[in-house]
Amino acid sequence: MSTKELLIKEIDTLPPETINIVYQFVEFQKYIIDDTTYLESIPGMKESIIEGMKEDPDKCSHILEWE
């Protein structure tokens, strides 16, 4: 039995509400991938995010500053 067939067999045993939650999660993952791809397409954005991740959260402003 292929992996796809095993997965379909396993899904068929799940209650409908669980299938709905799994579907919503998959859809949410698609949005995350789309957003990440978009952000990476902006010149310098990837580097800026990486630098921002190194910043100590306690030293960050609690107020958003828009340019």
pLDDT in tens, 17-67: 888 888 888 888 888 888 888 988 999 999 998 998 898 888 877 777 776
In a domain, 27, yes or no: yes
Amino acid at 24: Q
Q: Cβ distance 25 to 18 under 8 Å?
A: no
3-state secondary structure of 52: helix
Residue 47, pLDDT score: 92
Classify residue 41: in a domain, yes or no. Answer: yes
Whether residue 65 lies inside any domain: the answer is no
pLDDT of residue 44: 93
Instruction: Report how many domains make up the chain.
Output: 1
| The two structure tokens encoding residue 40 | 């990476």
pTM listed for this prediction: 0.45
The domain of 26 spans 15-53
Instruction: Tell whether 63 is covered by a domain.
Output: no
